[in-house]
Structure 1
Amino acid sequence: MLPRYKMSDLTPEYFVNLGPKASVEHSFDLAATHDLSRGGKITVKAHGMVPTAEENATTITGHTLYESNELTMDVDGKQAAAVEQAMGGDDSTGVIDKRSNIVTSSCRGSQLRVLQTALSNASRLSRAAASAAQRNPSKMREYFKTADSRTVQKVASRFLSVARESSSGSTGRTTYYCNDNRGGCHPGVLAYTLPSRNQVFNCPSYYQLPALNNRCHGQDQATTTLHELTHNPAVVTPFCEDLGYGYQRVSALPASKAIQNADTYSLFANAIYLGC
């Protein structure tokens, strides 16, 4: 599960204070986010990053990396399939047009229109970013830390893939939900992706964002959708991970990590759109 977190206007309930040697426990069901219906032996490992703030503050100032040990287990395929069925399976009821497939039954009120607009804007921003990647080496070096031809080609190709996926003239390979039906919308999460299923889920806070932000490196619906689409292996291969959120962290990543970081693409697209 790969989320995009809200990075501004955070309140204390988004945070947990950890003292020396303290820890936080979180339980989750792998069968809710991965297709384990085949059963058998699997190996599980977790790694990622948690945004952090200074004590008693609510401004993100850093990130903490984590990586677990490996755990091998035997999965009962029948029980795993039952979990998937209980979570709603791959409900495609109400899928519309040819863009990234929207499950219309998951949308309420104006959410369908909002998501359609976000996909259209994401396509437009991605095409502009693809062109800029090929023509603006200084911006490539600022965000991706290199402007060598191989990186430029890969970045431009990925932006064009996102543009095609979010365009109404393409054949959608991802499934997009207006709302969460898998319990992944924790406090501070704008949207999240299940790469194993090429599924994207918007969270309530997504709809509090502007359609497009007029502030450099500000978050909005279009770049959040762009961010999430880079997490999908049907769109970007290998799919992007979350190795750094926000301009400060993104600008500190080395080239090898910047090109595989989802927020690098969303921030680059925002910068090109606004002329940052």
Structure 2
Amino acid sequence: MLVLTQLSLALSVLSSYATASPLNRRDDIVETPLDVTIIPIGNAVFSAKVTNTGSTDLNLFAYGTLLDSAPVEKLNVYNVPDASTKSTDYVQASRIPFTGILRTIVRTNLSAEAFIPLAAGATYETTIDAASVHDFDSETYAFVAEGAIPYGPIGTTDFPTVAHPYRSNLVAIPVDGPAARKSKRDLGLEARAKVQPDCQGTNLAAMNTALANCAKLASAAATAAASGSAARFNEYFKTTDATVRATVSARLAAVAKECSTANSGIVLYYCIDPQTYCKPNVVAYTLAGSNTVVNCPAYYTALPPLTDVCHNQDEATTTIHEFTHVTAVFAPKTQDNGYGYAAAMALTSALAVLNADTYALFANAVLLNC
């Protein structure tokens, strides 16, 4: 196991986008075989290297992580309050809004493309274009990759029941705002209504049932977060702090309120994909920049309305997951820091409180008394 300890590195930066050497360090200790390093190679563009320093080959679940090829949230980006401040102490108010895609993945019948094999000692390298999915001004920003990646044996496509946390070095560099905005992705979808008019038949019926169940589950979970079992809350959110419990409760109450209407809410809810973002194993996605949630075909074919199995997926908790991603429902929005129970359990409290799947799992646990 590799222990990532604080260190300072001097890196040169391309003169075309930076006028000074970046701050580059590791702020805290994370025990993990995944050594993640990010290196600036352009204007808010990074080379990311993931090395398996352990002795066991890993089949890494890529969706929703820095390994994903889709425009998902791969880096946490902050205004730099002070170059000496630990990144773990950065407040969410200083975080730069993400404007890309947040996806929910069905955890059954996974395709091989959902995984990246990483042999012991091997390194996987990818490029992360933060400029394409964030709004930048001409300022100095701090970048860090963190979360938990589920993994299994090489060759299997079963959803993993274990996960490794990861935390990269922190890099603080100046960004050219106007140049970064030229790289911005246009993800489409104009605002029109709540449940979109092309939603009809069995899809509409399923959607209305999911909204009703979402309202019921989220409301019960909000009450449980505020005044229910401290042990259960600690299991999912890694703390019993009263302020954190109040925040989690308020977010779930906001989701319950949003799910209580099908025609006058904030979320723009599509029951079919008007774009092309519904890939294999994707059941739903959120466009972070436009309060838009879209159900994919697998939402209706792969998920039951409600599950009777602890930590399994269903339509109602998937809707809870997606609605926590919407800033207009409750700010700050959640991220996809870890998919599934194993990854959620590997998160710190700070990451768990902002992890969409943790809310879905908690609501399921409250309903089924897990």
TM-score by length of 1: 0.79
Amino acid at match of 1:175: L
Number of the residue aligned with 1:98:
none
Matches of 1:78 and 1:253 in 2, distance apart? 34
What is the DSSP-based 3-state SS (H/G/I as helix, E as strand, rest coil) of the residue aligned with 2:163?
strand
Deviates more, 1:224-233 or 1:61-70: 61-70
Equivalence map 1:1-276=2 (5 Å): 1-17=101-117, 20-23=122-125, 30=132, 47=145, 51-59=150-158, 60=160, 61-62=162-163, 72=176, 74=178, 89-90=189-190, 92=192, 95=193, 101-105=194-198, 107=199, 109-133=201-225, 134-168=227-261, 171-207=264-300, 208-276=302-370
Number of aligned positions between the proteins? 259
1-structure distance, mates of 2:144, 2:278:
19
Query: Could you tell me whether the CA contact under 8 Å between 1:189 and 1:203 is conserved in 2?
Result: yes
Q: Which amino acid aligns with 2:105?
A: Y
Q: Which moved more, 1:168-177 or 1:243-252?
A: 168-177
Q: CA deviation at 1:215?
A: 0.3
Larger displacement relative to structure 2 (144-153 or 7-16): 7-16
Cα offset, 1:89, TM superposition: 3.8
TM-score of the two chains, using structure 2 as the length reference:
0.60
What's the RMSD between the two structures over aligned residues?
3.3
Structure with max Cα Rg = 2
Q: CA deviation at 1:15?
A: 3.2
Alignment partners' CA distance in 1, 2:129 and 2:368: 41
- Equivalents in 1 of 2:276, 2:142: separation in Å? 20
Q: Offset of 1:264 from its aligned partner?
A: 0.8
Spell out, residue by residue over 1:180-214, the C-alpha distance to the aligned partner (whole angstroms, 9 max, x if none). Answer: 22322222221111121111111111112000011
Partner of 2:54: none
Closer/same/farther in 2, CA of residues 270 and 56 from structure 1, 3 Å limit: same
- Is residue 151–residue 164 contact of structure 2 (8 Å, CA) maintained in 1? yes
For the residue of structure 1 that corresponds to 2:195, the secondary structure is strand
Higher share of residues assigned helix: 1
Q: Is the 8 A contact 1:209 1:219 kept in 2?
A: yes
What residue ranges of structure 1 are gaps of 5+ in the alignment?
96-100
Structure 1 residues 131 and 52, CA, compared in 2 at 3 Å: closer, same or farther?
Answer: same
**Aligned mates of 1:66, 1:138 — CA distance in 2:** 27
User: Runs of 5+ in structure 2 lacking a partner?
Assistant: 1-100
Letter of the structure 2 residue corresponding to residue 264 of structure 1: T
The whole-number CA distance in structure 1 between the counterparts of 2:195 and 2:360 is 21
For residues 292 and 189 of structure 2, what CA distance do their matches in structure 1 show? 11
1:104 Cα deviation from its structure 2 partner: 2.4
SS at match of 1:102: coil
By relative contact order (CA 8 Å, sep 6+), the higher-ranking structure is 1
Per-residue deviation, residues 18-68 of structure 1 (Å, max 9, x unmatched): 5634556799994xx78x9xx997999795765443210112243575879
Query: Partner of 1:103: helix, strand, or coil?
Result: coil
Query: Which of 201-210 and 157-166 deviates more?
Result: 201-210
Q: Distance in 2 between matches of 1:156 and 1:77?
A: 36
In structure 2, relative to structure 1, the CA distance for the partners of 1:150 and 1:55 (3 Å cut) is same
**Amino acid in the other structure paired with 2:311:** H
1:241, distance to aligned residue in structure 2 (A): 0.5
Code of the residue aligned with 2:290 in structure 1: it is R
